[in-house]
Chains A and B, each alone.
Chain A
Amino acid sequence: MNQEIDDVLKSVLEAKARGRKQLAALPIERKLEILEKLRDRSEAMAPLRARHRQPTQILTLVATGAQQPISLLAGSQKQRVYLQSQGRLNTAQRSATLSATSVQQTGWKIVPPHDLLGAKIQALEQKDFHQAL
Chain B
Amino acid sequence: MKATLEVIEKMRADGIIGNYAIGGAVGATVYLEPLATFDIDIFISFKKVQPGLLVSLSPIYEYLQAKGYQSVEEHIMIEGWKVQFLPTHDALLDEALSAAVRVSIYDAETWVMTAEHLMAIALKLGRPKDYNRIDQFISEEAFDETYLMPILQRHGLIEKWNAHRQKIL
Give A residues with C-beta under 8 Å from B: 17, 20-21, 23-24, 28-29, 31-32, 34-36, 38-39, 42-43, 58, 66-73, 76-79, 97-101, 113, 116-118, 121-122
**Closest-CB distance, A4 to chain B (whole angstroms):** 25
Contact of B29 among A35, A66, A76 (CB under 8 A): A35
**Would you call B53 and A34 a contact (CB within 8 A)?**
no
B1 interface residue, CB < 8 Å from A? yes
Bin the interface of chain B by size. 35 or more
Interface residues of B (CB under 8 A from A): 1, 25-26, 29-38, 41, 52-58, 61-62, 71-74, 84-87, 89, 93, 103, 105-106, 121, 125, 136, 139-140, 142
Minimal Cβ-Cβ distance residue in B for A101: B73
Cα separation A31 to B26 with both chains bound (whole Å) = 10
Chain A residue at smallest Cβ distance from B124? A77
A121 touches B53 (CB 8 A): yes
Known: A99-B73, A99-B74. A23 touches B56 (CB 8 A): no
